[in-house]
Structure 1
Amino acid sequence: MKKREKKKNKGGVLFLLLLAGFLIFSGNILYNRLFPLEYEEIIEEYASEYGVDPYLVYGLIHTESRFQTTAISPAGAMGLMQITPETGDFIAKRLQMKDYEESMLYVPEINIRMGIYYLSYLEESFPVKETRLAAYNAGPNRVKGWLDDSSIGSGDVLHSIPFEETRNYVERVIFRETIYRILYFYKKLL
């Protein structure tokens, strides 16, 4: 009977080792391919400087560009955090960037710095995360109008977002922010 128990224990240990190997392998696929942690130093630096949650930034970049530096939207938004040329000009003036040119929106460090700064700037007018993300996507003036419409907003809170694209965008960013938070919380433990 003891031989049978030893064989059973060896089989159980082998199963656990195979399961652990599979989880590590599949975890690496999640980390490296599906939800990459690119530009970590830059994101952490500017998120800290401007008081923005880095996981929100990862979720936003993943939603906006999937970490493609040359991404451009049909509306003309550019780079990792999909900043429009008009918003880029506005941010560059606020950050007192002397030699700013539109093409700089494709430079990861500049795009990330500007995007994180803009999230921080939007937080002054939109302290609720979902409303701030709606403003990032649809524009702050449009969202202010929504907040003033008592049928869809009150104060700082949007009870419903009238644009399906913006509503879906906010949900996707928050979902991806949560995935990043879970994946990389556990990765730091390993």
Structure 2
Amino acid sequence: MKKKVAIIVLLIVFLLLFERFYFFILKQIYPLKFSESISRYSSEIGVDPYLICAIIKSESNFNQYAVSKKGAVGLMQLSPLTAKWVAQKLKIQYSDEYLYDPDYNIKLGSWYIKYLLDYYSGDTKLAVAAYNAGMTNVNKWLSIKKRSTIEITEIPFKETNHFVRRVFKSYEMYKKLYPKTFKHIDY
């Protein structure tokens, strides 16, 4: 009887330690940096902060100096053309160099994903696909399907299909790993 109790106690201790280790490892894979800027702009603009985290993770892995092969820049990997357009809409000054500033990049990227969410009537999957592939492509896919939405499996661009899946996976992970980081607001 004492052996069974000892084994159960050891098992419970192991599971508790394993859970902490498990979350520690996951937080290394899914880091959270720039949370103050994410919180500020997601709140000001009215977009889910966990979606912003997921996009940043998927786009740059929180590297503010990231530059893609196509010239997208910073945390949220904004193309200079899109960023300039967003800056004009926000009536703020624009410079390509500003895109490396986390605060500036998160502000523009948050506004842009909110714009896409509004354009696609809150359809996050379409907004995230458009964030990656562009609105022209997404609108063409919708036109071909003669529907107002598509399933992730129907996204014809392999890169965009994988991007949308990564963002959705990251979104769920950020909500689980950092549940109290951001104030809850219904988006």
TM-score by length of 2: 0.87
Structure 2 counterpart of 1:115:
109
Task: Report how far residue 78 of structure 1 moved.
Answer: 0.5
**% same residue:** 38
In structure 1, how many angstroms separate the alpha carbons of the residues matched to 2:143 and 2:61?
Answer: 33
Structure 1 residues 11 and 186, CA, compared in 2 at 3 Å: closer, same or farther?
farther
Matched, 1:158 2:183: no
Matched, 1:88 2:83: yes
CA deviation vs aligned residue, 1:136-182 (integer Å, no higher than 9, x gap): 00111222222222xx3512x02422211111111111111112112
Structure 2 counterpart of 1:28:
24
Q: Which of 1 and 2 has higher RCO (CA within 8 Å, sep 6+)? A: 2
Note the aligned Cα RMSD (angstroms): 2.0
CA deviation vs aligned residue, 1:28-87 (integer Å, no higher than 9, x gap): 1211x1011111111111111111111111111111011111111111000010000001
Q: How many residue pairs were aligned?
A: 179
Instruction: Give the alignment of 1:16-165 within 5 angstroms.
Output: 16-31=12-27, 33-98=28-93, 100-127=94-121, 128-149=123-144, 152-155=145-148, 157-159=149-151, 160-165=154-159
In structure 1, how many angstroms separate the alpha carbons of the residues matched to 2:105 and 2:66?
Answer: 12
Structure 2 counterpart of 1:176:
170
Any idea what SS the aligned residue of 1:154 has?
Answer: coil
Corresponding letter in the other structure for 1:108: P
Task: Report how far residue 111 of structure 1 moved.
Answer: 0.5
CA deviation vs aligned residue, 1:73-111 (integer Å, no higher than 9, x gap): 11100001000000110011011113x211111111111
> Larger C-alpha radius of gyration, 1 or 2?
1
Task: Report how far residue 22 of structure 1 moved.
Answer: 2.4
TM-score by length of 1: 0.86
Could you list the runs of 5+ residues in structure 1 that have no partner in the other structure?
A: none
